Amino acid sequence: MNTKQCFENEKSNYTIFYGDIKAFNLQAQQIFSFCLTIFLLIYGMVVRYIGLLFNGIITPSFYLHLFHAFISFLIFLLFRYYFPRHEKYIVFVAHLNVIITILIMDIQYSLYSSVNSYTVTMSVILCTSVIVLGRFWHYLMIVTITFLADVTVFIISADRGYSTEMKIFYLTDIVLFILLMSALHLYFTSIQYRNFKQKRALKSLSERDSLTNLYNRKYIENVVNSYYGENESCAMILIDIDDFKKINDIFGHIKGDEILIETAENIAQEFRHTDCVARVGGDEFMIFIPNIICREKVLQKAERLSENFLYIKGEDDTLYTVSYSVGIAFEEKDGTGIFEELYKKADTAMYKAKTKKGVKGSNITVFER
């Protein structure tokens, strides 16, 4: 995989997992900002004590630590109380927090290296490589800004009498550290994307029927029970394959599975992406249609499905017709508990469709109160 493909793959992952990225940044920034606030307050008090003990004064570094702690606490409050309800700028502010942290820690050490630990400074900066997710070039831009800011501060303070050897060593140290941060962030990001993929795969397995790839009963039940239609009606359609047991007995389970898969594809093609289509039993399919404006269109869809026969060729070249019984129930209300009520109505209508006389394959019944 070349560099261009890597960046295209990274861009694709960012788009696909954008919701997961926002959730990660929301949680990670809360934890990091809160811990950093506590750490800076404690570390600031240590710096103050050392300054008073050895110099008899409070160094400016103490006040810079307090300022940084205040900024960090404000960012914690944003991610804790504001961004859970306003998600638009989560990723942007997460990167901004990384810039603020790196710049203040790095500049503080450059200006007051005599009272600040290099190990502590670099440890905090290194932590920023694993507390933010986004596009890699965004993070690369952040560390580049840090590099330029650090070099600028270094040039300003160059009158301290650094030797040429010391300057080269210092600049080399910065470049290597930035490369380390970028590599660590890239590796960390790849691990997170892998976790997101595994999480989605597991979620899909828990929500989907393994044979037809339609949703399962548990999923559609949650969708129906959480429906809020603002006084608009909804509908549930229940479809059952007629004499499916005979199909399995005569033609075998492999042919039966093929019929289930074809039926699932026909149903999925007929309905909108906002409708929920599920397999809720062996040969039973359910469709939940929210926010119905015209009931006639629902009936028309059901009629097209019931008339879309499948055929099985027997050993003597005889064609056997696969037909369906369809029950439909409409409901005006929404809220918890609506699934069981709709299911009972649709099931009652479907049972009537199975038992009523008429042309097989055109058995559609709408539940009547």
| Model pLDDT, residue 358 | 52
Mean pLDDT across the stretch 76-87?
A: 93
Whether the predicted pLDDT of 232 surpasses 80: no
The pTM of the full predicted model, rounded to 2 decimals, is: 0.66
Buried b (16+ CB within 10 A) or exposed e, 23-32: bbbbebbbeb
Q: Does residue 167 or residue 103 have the better pLDDT? A: 103
pLDDT in tens, 269-320: 988 888 999 999 889 999 999 888 888 888 888 888 877 777 777 666 667 7
| Model pLDDT, residue 239 | 92
H helices of the chain, in order, are 3-16, 18-54, 60-77, 90-111, 118-127, 136-156, 164-207, 217-225, 244-251, 253-270, 295-307, 338-355
| Model pLDDT, residue 159 | 54
Which two tokens mark 360? 């097989």
Report residue 237's pLDDT band, with 50, 70 and 90 as the boundaries: very high
| Model pLDDT, residue 355 | 82
| Model pLDDT, residue 344 | 92
Whether the predicted pLDDT of 362 surpasses 60: no
| Model pLDDT, residue 154 | 67
Q: Does residue 337 or residue 217 have the better pLDDT? A: 217
Strand pairing report for 363-366 and 319-322: unpaired
Whether the predicted pLDDT of 34 surpasses 90: yes
Whether the predicted pLDDT of 73 surpasses 90: yes
Report residue 3's pLDDT band, with 50, 70 and 90 as the boundaries: low
Report residue 353's pLDDT band, with 50, 70 and 90 as the boundaries: confident
- What distance in Å separates the CA atoms of residue 366 and residue 325, rounded to the nearest whole number? 11
Mean pLDDT across the stretch 72-99?
A: 92
Report residue 220's pLDDT band, with 50, 70 and 90 as the boundaries: very high
Mean pLDDT across the stretch 140-166?
A: 70
- What distance in Å separates the CA atoms of residue 64 and residue 101, rounded to the nearest whole number? 12
Q: Does residue 145 or residue 243 have the better pLDDT? A: 243
Sheet of 324-331: strand order equals 276-279, 284-292, 233-241, 324-331, 363-366
| Residue 135 backbone class (left: φ over 0; alpha: ψ -120 to 50; beta: rest) | beta
| Model pLDDT, residue 328 | 92
Mean pLDDT across the stretch 251-256?
A: 89
| Model pLDDT, residue 155 | 67
Beta bridge partners of 233: 292
- What distance in Å separates the CA atoms of residue 170 and residue 108, rounded to the nearest whole number? 16
Report residue 361's pLDDT band, with 50, 70 and 90 as the boundaries: very low
Secondary structure (DSSP) of 22-35:
HHHHHHHHHHHHHH
Q: 92 Cβ partners below 8 Å, 6+ apart? A: none
| Model pLDDT, residue 72 | 94
Whether the predicted pLDDT of 118 surpasses 90: no
- What distance in Å separates the CA atoms of residue 13 and residue 326, rounded to the nearest whole number? 41
- What distance in Å separates the CA atoms of residue 39 and residue 123, rounded to the nearest whole number? 12
Which among 193, 174, 172, 170 has a CA at the least distance from the CA of 182?
174
Q: What phi and psi values does residue 236 have, to the nearest 5 degrees?
A: -125, 130
Whether the predicted pLDDT of 5 surpasses 70: no
3-state class (DSSP) for residue 360? coil
H helices of 132-163, in order, are 136-156
Question: For the ranges 17-21, 35-39, 229-233, 328-332, which has the lowest average pLDDT?
Answer: 229-233
Cα angle for residues 365, 286, 351 (degrees, 5° grid) = 35
Buried b (16+ CB within 10 A) or exposed e, 49-82: eebeeeeeeebebbebbeebbebbbebbebbeee
| Model pLDDT, residue 124 | 85
Mean pLDDT across the stretch 93-118?
A: 79
User: Burial of 225 by CB count in 10 Å (0-12 exposed, 13-18 middle, 19+ buried)?
Assistant: middle
59 touches 51 (CB < 8 A): yes
Whether the predicted pLDDT of 82 surpasses 50: yes
Report residue 69's pLDDT band, with 50, 70 and 90 as the boundaries: very high
247 touches 256 (CB < 8 A): yes
